[in-house]
Amino acid sequence: MKTIVGIDLGTTYSLVAILQDGVPVILPNALGELLTPSAVSASDDGTILVGAPARARATTHPTATAMAFKRDMGTDRKLHLGSRAMTPQELSSLVLGALKRDAEATLGRAVDEAVITVPAYFGDAQRQATRDAAAIAGLHVERIINEPTAAALAYGLHQRHRELRAVVLDLGGGTFDVTVLEIIEGVIEIQASAGDARLGGDDFDEALANLVADRVKAAHQVDLRGDPHAWARLRAAAETAKKRLSSDACATVALVDVLRTQEKRLLSVEETITRTEAEEAWAPLLARLAGPIRRAIRDAKVAPQAIEEILLVGGSTRMPCVARLTAQTFGKLPLRKLPPDEAVAMGAAVQAALKGGDAAVEDLVVTDVAPFSLGIETSVPFAQQRAEGIFSPILERGTVIPASRVQRYSTVAEGQRMIHVKVYQGEHSLCADNQLLGDYKVTGIPSAPAGQESIDVRFTYDINGILEVETTVVSTGKKAALVVERTPGRMSKEEVEVARRIMARLKFHPREALPNVTALARADALFVELSGSDRTLLAGAIGTFRATLEGQREPEITAAREKLLSLVLSVRRSE
């Protein structure tokens, strides 16, 4: 049987999993860790670092490190690692390639196929870009599945003999999704999805960092946001403070020698933030969470009180304010029956097993819905004129997929021989407020009076969220089709092959060296935060480890690495 893995390609962390003996299992990376940071960094000699060592360099080498690039999937944006510019697809492909190698090392066999998760509110361009990233990494995508749907699969695997209606709230590092589902006799029916593709834990980190930056600016007339290194350190400290505030009433953000002032004085920062103060800073973000929740419930046509269970997934749902918002909305406490960071990957493994024909899940069925409306630009008569740029939905959000829908339109001008089909996704009445997915022209329409010639426009939306548009001139039967793929950020087959060759030429640290690279990166990141005796002690351990690496004697390297990591851990705990 072919091996298909499930991959959660996350904004902050990514995971790879497989179903073994009917149970989803997260596969460890080269460091023995289950979570691989979605981070890429370039060292001074051009070597590419992926995962933990790259994330550790984010505070020491922010301009040579890229994170949160998932948010830019499907766009033309390029991110810079020093002098090297890379697309979000290329960066994502490096993470996927690392997961692929980790899975192969653990399973002892080649892995060429995967089910990959994306936020439910990812549009067509972002889904296509995810496929491109996988292709560059040498992976064939068996299925693109929505993240909350994947979490529902993992949840439903153990609930298949129950009948209940539930809501999955998925708040990760960069995205937020809400899914209403019903489980009946092993069938998981997705009834509605909503979300925000640019709202996640990173935004809560930034809000906390801005709170501290504003205090520092008021007290010292220095803006930490103006220096990349200072801001990177503050963001990392804010993330740590956010995690502490999940269990503690207050947290301290302390940065030693974070910035040199205009007076050439080194500035250190120590600010204490209470949970109440943090939640006040997060109020606008919490309000944004409430919108998709209400929309999903409304689309599913259920009352909040009719929801029997609320499942929280995604690391950011650990924040008490998120659980409190959920309890206030539904009138009951949410559940964490699955590990929040692992639930989506576990569900991807279940879907991979379904695709592979695993007998352990043969009685499990899942349906999904389109998370947004799809349609075209039209004009409508208004008095003696026509209003242009009006959005005409053809496939409404909430439609069970795969689906195919057709609508008939007519020419609007005397002797019109051509129509320009512009395809949009969104929920606004004006196309200008929605997202353009693609466009093409249909020519050869017979000349006739306005309104006499009809054109059928059919939208076909598959289970991977890929859209095909077909137009038919009714009087002649002439057809034209568009698979929406040349949207911004979408790569042609030739471009994918070029990217694969470029990625293959990049210089990577060998797999066996990754623990050493990671240990040094983590130690260096801690070193910049310390002062006094702790810093002197750590400097000695770093120097000893570097000297041991030069000797290339594996037992001594392992011992020095463990000693260094033990020191890093003990200093972290004492902070």
Please, what's the b/e burial string for 438-457 (b: 16 or more CB within 10 A of its CB; e: otherwise)? bbbebeebeebeeeebebeb
Q: Is the pTM of this model over 0.75?
A: yes
Q: Which of 131, 214, 213 lies closest to 491, judged by CA?
A: 131
pLDDT means per 10 residues, the chain with 575 residues, are 89 95 93 94 87 90 93 90 91 96 92 93 85 94 90 81 88 91 85 88 95 93 90 93 94 86 78 95 95 92 92 92 94 88 94 88 82 90 81 91 92 91 91 88 90 92 84 91 59 76 68 73 82 84 83 78 87 75
DSSP summary character for residue 109 = S
Select from 3.90.1170.50, 3.40.50.970, 3.40.50.300, 3.30.420.40 the CATH code of 162-336: 3.30.420.40
Q: Is the four-CA dihedral 4, 5, 8, 9 of positive or negative sign?
A: negative
Instruction: Give the pLDDT confidence score for residue 1 in this predicted structure.
Output: 57
Give the integer Cα–Cα distance in Å for 443 and 445.
6
Distances from the Cα of 328 to the Cαs of 14, 321, 324, in angstroms?
A: 31, 10, 6
The answer to whether 275 touches 245, Cβ cutoff 8 Å, is yes
Give the integer Cα–Cα distance in Å for 33 and 252.
28
Q: What is the CA 321 to chain-centroid distance, rounded? A: 22
- What are the residues whose beta carbons fall under 8 Å from the beta carbon of 193, sequence distance 6 or more? 120, 121, 146, 148, 149, 177, 178, 179, 180, 296, 368, 369, 371
The answer to whether 540 touches 70, Cβ cutoff 8 Å, is no
296 phi-psi bin (left φ>0, alpha ψ -120 to 50, beta other): alpha
Q: Which element (helix H / strand E) includes 84? A: strand 84-86
Instruction: Give the pLDDT confidence score for residue 486 in this predicted structure.
Output: 46
Task: Give the distance between the most distant pair of CA atoms in the chain.
Answer: 88
Give the integer Cα–Cα distance in Å for 200 and 194.
14
Give the integer Cα–Cα distance in Å for 364 and 354.
8
Select from 1.20.140.10, 3.90.920.20, 3.40.350.10, 3.30.420.40 the CATH code of 1-158+339-362+494-508: 3.30.420.40
Give the integer Cα–Cα distance in Å for 256 and 242.
19
Fold of the 374-483 domain? Substrate Binding Domain Of DNAk; Chain A, domain 1 (2.60.34)
Q: Where are the alpha helices (DSSP H) in 118-199?
A: 124-136, 147-157
The answer to whether 462 touches 418, Cβ cutoff 8 Å, is no
Give the integer Cα–Cα distance in Å for 151 and 338.
9
Here the tokens at position 88 are 């979000």
Strand-pair partners of 259: 267
N- to C-terminal Cα separation, the chain: 50
Instruction: Give the pLDDT confidence score for residue 323 in this predicted structure.
Output: 93
The answer to whether 166 touches 181, Cβ cutoff 8 Å, is yes
Instruction: Give the pLDDT confidence score for residue 537 in this predicted structure.
Output: 87
Q: What is the CA 30 to chain-centroid distance, rounded? A: 22
Instruction: Give the pLDDT confidence score for residue 263 in this predicted structure.
Output: 67
Instruction: Give the pLDDT confidence score for residue 221 in this predicted structure.
Output: 87
Catalytic residues, by residue number, are: 8, 70, 147, 170
Provide the strand spans (E) within 110-262.
113-118, 140-146, 164-171, 176-184, 187-196, 250-260
Please, what's the b/e burial string for 149-172 (b: 16 or more CB within 10 A of its CB; e: otherwise)? bbbbbbbbbebbeeeebbbbbbbb
DSSP summary character for residue 309 = E
**Three-state helix/strand/coil letters over 411-456:** CCCCCCCCEEEEEEECCCCEHHHCEEEEEEEECCCCCCCCCCCEEE
Instruction: Give the pLDDT confidence score for residue 383 in this predicted structure.
Output: 66
Instruction: Give the pLDDT confidence score for residue 240 in this predicted structure.
Output: 93
Give the integer Cα–Cα distance in Å for 378 and 391.
6
